[in-house]
Copies of this chain bind each other. A is one copy, B any other.
Amino acid sequence: MAANQQLGMRIKDLREARDWSQRECADFLGVHHVYLADVELGKRNLTLANIEKIAAGFGVTLEELFKGL
């Protein structure tokens, strides 16, 4: 499975672990909720700057975000 799909699933897990809806999470991360939905489905080829922003929003390091990937 491509890294973008695996990362999308990881981001969804992190969001759901916080009981956030996609809209709440998108607002908190400062991204559009449609973008977040696409990311979770693995439909976006994220840039490292956006990955860094998402990791910071969830309060995890990049190493933690990519754990097991």
Contacts and interface: CB of A to CB of B under 8 A. Distances in A.
Interface of A: 2-4, 7, 45-49, 51-52, 61-63, 65-69
In the A-B complex, the 8 residue pairs with the closest CB atoms: A3-B52, A62-B66, A62-B69, A45-B47, A63-B66, A46-B48, A66-B66, A45-B49
Copies of chain A in the complex = 2
12 contacts: A2-B52, A3-B51, A4-B48, A45-B49, A46-B48, A47-B47, A47-B48, A48-B51, A62-B66, A62-B69, A63-B63, A63-B68
A11 to B, nearest CB: 12
Contacts of A49: 2-4, 45
